[in-house]
Amino acid sequence: MYSLTQSVEVKGSAGEPIPNPFAGLRRQEVEFRRGELSLVAAGPGTGKSLFAINLALFGNLPVLYFSADSNAATQLTRATAILTGDNVREVKRKLIADEFGEYHAALGERWWIRFNYEARPTPGDIEQDLACYYEVFGIYPYLIVVDNITNVDGGDGQADAGNFSFGLEAMCEYLSEMARDTQAHVLGLHHVVGEFSDGLRPIPLSGVKGKIGRVPSVILTIHKEIDGMDGRLLHVSPVKNREGFEDSSGQTFTTYEFNSANMRLTDLESEF
């Protein structure tokens, strides 16, 4: 056990925010702090994976990304478009045509972001990759992304609604413990209940699937607005935030413009 003054010495990097490109969220005191777990919940195709990859690529920090929901070609083309600003369709064409050499230098600058593309990783797989990451780089990642937490094979079968909720709660506890042990920020992506699955209206804390709001320090929900011209706005609501503003109704949000050409998210309001 530790006194308050001793706690200063043993805290390590816990509590330090990682670089955050989302100025609107920063104004609401939403930070992604090392040693903590956060969740981003949204309907399918709304943009939670885009949110995660934009965060992961920002700041050139050590990242381990478990991409169970997207394959290597999808993540590679998205990341290349974000980093270079090139059109994602042209990036995909060059990848398929084996004309990708021009991007090697830009991608090489993010040499310590690593991906795992297993569709159903187990906790053992996650721990093995973390051990390998530490062996290679001498540190644990600052950011660990789990996309999505329901893709992690917890081995409980999740046969009915009760077991499903219990499994999700236990998974959040496991990921929270991982965050503390590694002093990484663990970002889990998750789904919402059926009535919010179209992603067209604000999603409250109660709309997070499995009602797993107890463990994460931050929970964000995302809904979208489509202008009919291939444009899209993503509205991000802080429905739980232990160290800043929160509105569990989801009605308070910051807005980001999604550029479908280069996969980037841009604050609509400039930072004060």
Q: In 3D, which of 213, 127, 227 has the Cα closest to residue 165?
A: 213
Tell me which of 2-16, 113-127, 212-226 is least confident.
Answer: 2-16
The tens digit of pLDDT for each residue in 21-39 reads: 999 999 999 999 999 999 9
Percent of the chain with pLDDT over 70: 89
Cα angle: 147, vertex 270, 20; to 5 degrees: 30
The tens digit of pLDDT for each residue in 181-228 reads: 999 999 999 999 999 999 999 999 999 999 899 999 999 999 999 876
Amino acid (one-letter) located at 148: N
Mean pLDDT in the chain? 91
Give the domain 30-267 fold. Answer: Rossmann fold (3.40.50)
Structure tokens at 14: 């816990």
Q: Which residues contact 10 (CB under 8 A, 6 or more apart)?
A: 2
The tens digit of pLDDT for each residue in 44-93 reads: 999 999 999 999 999 899 999 999 999 999 999 999 999 999 999 999 99
Query: What whole-number distance in Å separates Cα of residue 130 and Cα of residue 151?
Result: 18
Predicted confidence at residue 8, as pLDDT, reads 55
Evaluated on CA atoms 241, 242, 243, 246, the torsion sign reads: positive
Q: Say whether pLDDT at 230 is over 70.
A: no
Predicted confidence at residue 3, as pLDDT, reads 56
pTM of this prediction? 0.90
Predicted confidence at residue 108, as pLDDT, reads 94
Residue ranges covered by each domain of the chain: 30-267
Yes or no: say if 73 and 123 are a contact pair by the CB < 8 Å rule. Answer: no
